[in-house]
Amino acid sequence: MAEDRKQRRDAVANRERILAAAEEAFRERGMAVDMRAVAAAAGVGIGTLYRHFPTREHLVHAVTGTDLAGLAGAALPERASAAAGLREFFTATMSQLIGNKAMVDLLSAGSPSDADLQRCLSHLTAIGQEAVDRSRTDHTLAADVTARDIAYQLLGLVRIAQLIPDSEPDTIRHHVELALRALSAK
């Protein structure tokens, strides 16, 4: 009986080490990380990794699920104009994402049928709708901008972040401003 408890404690410890190693590897190198490298960094064999996470997708979801939930909880700042609120939201979101290459890879390459990506897009569209509604009063967005346009602009910024070496903050801010110019009333 004590042997079973020890194995379970070992299994829990192995899982935690795998998650810690995968989180660091995915954040630094994105989705292209070799699973053998994750196992080695965790100090376990590849078989142990696959017993806990049968596929790369299982491991990616375990590592990025919290980040996706955080993104899904983000909101447009209150008491700001539509354009100023989007500037703050886009900048905060991109600042959160640029330190996590796996999230950038996931959001820019995710399948539209992926449930997490669908929830994320729905949430971004809801934020876009809030901005469009505010703009009816403050007129800071172009009249033809839709909620989905706003969601897609942010996803476009995510794709840009994937292409920028080391995702320099000044370059990200520059692209946020370019996206906002495209959405703003002239």
Residue with tokens 């064999």: 45
Angle, CA of 82, 97 and 155, to the nearest 5°: 55
Domain range 2-54, its CATH number among 1.10.3720.10, 1.10.10.60, 2.30.110.10, 1.10.10.10: 1.10.10.60
Extended beta strands in the chain, E state: none
Q: What is the pLDDT along the chain (186 residues), one digit of tens a residue?
A: 455 555 588 888 999 999 999 988 887 887 788 999 999 999 999 999 999 999 887 887 788 776 666 777 788 999 999 999 999 999 988 887 777 777 777 777 765 446 767 777 888 999 999 999 999 999 999 999 999 999 999 988 888 877 776 667 788 889 999 999 999 997
The structure tokens listed for 122 are 């729905």
Task: State pTM to two decimals.
Answer: 0.73
Are the C-beta atoms of residues 124 and 150 closer than 8 Å to each other? yes
Q: What is the pLDDT of residue 5?
A: 53
Please state which CATH class domain 64-183 belongs to. Answer: mainly alpha
**CA–CA dist 3, 125 (Å, integer):** 52
Q: What is the pLDDT of residue 42?
A: 95
Q: What is the pLDDT of residue 1?
A: 45
In the chain, domain spans: 2-54, 64-183
Q: Which helix (H) or strand (E) holds 109?
A: helix 101-109
Q: What is the pLDDT of residue 46?
A: 95
The structure tokens listed for 127 are 């934020």
DSSP string, 116-138: HHHHHHHHHHHHHHHHHHHHHHH
